[in-house]
Amino acid sequence: MRISGWRRLVVAVLALIVTITPATAQTYKAEYSLSMMPDTESPWGRGCVLWADLVRERTQGRINIKLHPGASLVGGDQTREFNALRQGVIDIAVGSTINWSSAIPEFNLFSLPFMLRDYRSLDRLTQGDIGRELFRRVEEQGVVPLAWGENGFRQLSNSRRPIRSPDDMRGLRFRVVGSLLFNDIFTALGAYPTQMNWNDAYRALRMRKVDGQENPIAIFNNTRLDKLGQRYVTIWDYVADPLVFVVNRQVWDSWSVQDRETVREAAVEAARFEVTLARQDLLASSQSMWDDLEGRGVKVTRLTADERQRFIDATRPVYLKWKALVGRDLVDRAETAIAKPAKLGSREPPPGKGAGRRLGG
């Protein structure tokens, strides 16, 4: 009877352990996939590396993240990345709002031509009510958003001639990302837009099948587009490309509450680091980067206010068309936030100087 009693006690204890042990403890994968577009040497890529390293270290290896550059999990087609994330093909991602705009149309807000003035105006959107609303839209799609990163303001390059006006773009072929909004922008400027993923674009530039492209200057430098004949760069800051650090909802729910908080905190920290790197091109201390670029034979054109206004005027019909498609109320609120003057004594950083410290909060 004693032995039988002990057996009953052991069974009861084991049942209690099973009851109080989180089921999620048995559902951790040996490895989690993280999808991203660029390689690990870019600010975007380095932010991903830091996130993975912090998570691995702080969870004592319970969450091991493997990076997959080049959107390789979706065959290089970055526009399919978000849907693959929703479906569980991808566990984790740091993705571009431009590339994910087909799944979340409100992300086109950041691509309205010449709406954003500088990094301060971008921060006012991502770090305010607009940013929180966009995060809610992401959550509605079964994906958990954790922090805002940044791919930077996008600049123009080509192999044919300096560009100072829309007239200079007429007849040129430009690779653009997979968004109809970018087709409309470049068509309005008299150019011929061609949508293709970045891997195909790189080959097309090398073979001179297209004349130019648009990307943040960090991407231009990291991929050495000057070696592909891209000898003319125009700084026009026509749109910005925020990034989002996210996790698939089912993966997120499979982790303990403590590990979720660890992943979130690591994402915020990695995003701050990534934004700081992405904004280096506007810092005075980075003048050497521009000198180096021109030293490699690249002609850098900086538009005057009047020259930039000509591009704004030429793309205004596109802006108004897409304002209706993105949502008038959302765009109106964004315009108001951007136009609002800084408060006296505000700690709001000047454009490009330390603004990234608040990203991902």
Quote the pTM value: 0.85
- HEC string for 282-305: HCHHHHHHHHHHHHCCCEEEECCH
Task: Give residue 191's pLDDT.
Answer: 98
Q: Identify which of 87, 57, 50 has the alpha carbon closest to the alpha carbon of residue 276.
A: 50
Chain centroid, CA 204 distance in Å: 23
Taken as a whole, the chain contains a residue count of: 361
Question: pLDDT tens digits for 95-128?
Answer: 999 999 999 999 999 999 999 989 999 999 999 9
Long-range contacts of 321-328 (CB under 8 A, 24+ apart): 321/184, 322/108, 322/111, 322/112, 322/181, 322/184, 323/112, 325/105, 325/108, 326/105, 326/106, 326/108, 326/109, 326/112, 327/106
Task: Give residue 14's pLDDT.
Answer: 47
Token pair of 262, please? 């660890």
Q: Provide the 3-class DSSP secondary structure of residue 117.
A: coil
Domains of the chain from N-terminus onward: 32-339 (3.40.190.170)
Question: pLDDT tens digits for 189-199?
Answer: 999 999 998 88
Which pairing describes strands 173-176 and 192-195: parallel, antiparallel, or unpaired? Answer: parallel
Task: Enumerate residue ranges in the chain where pLDDT < 70.
Answer: 1-26, 281-287, 342-361
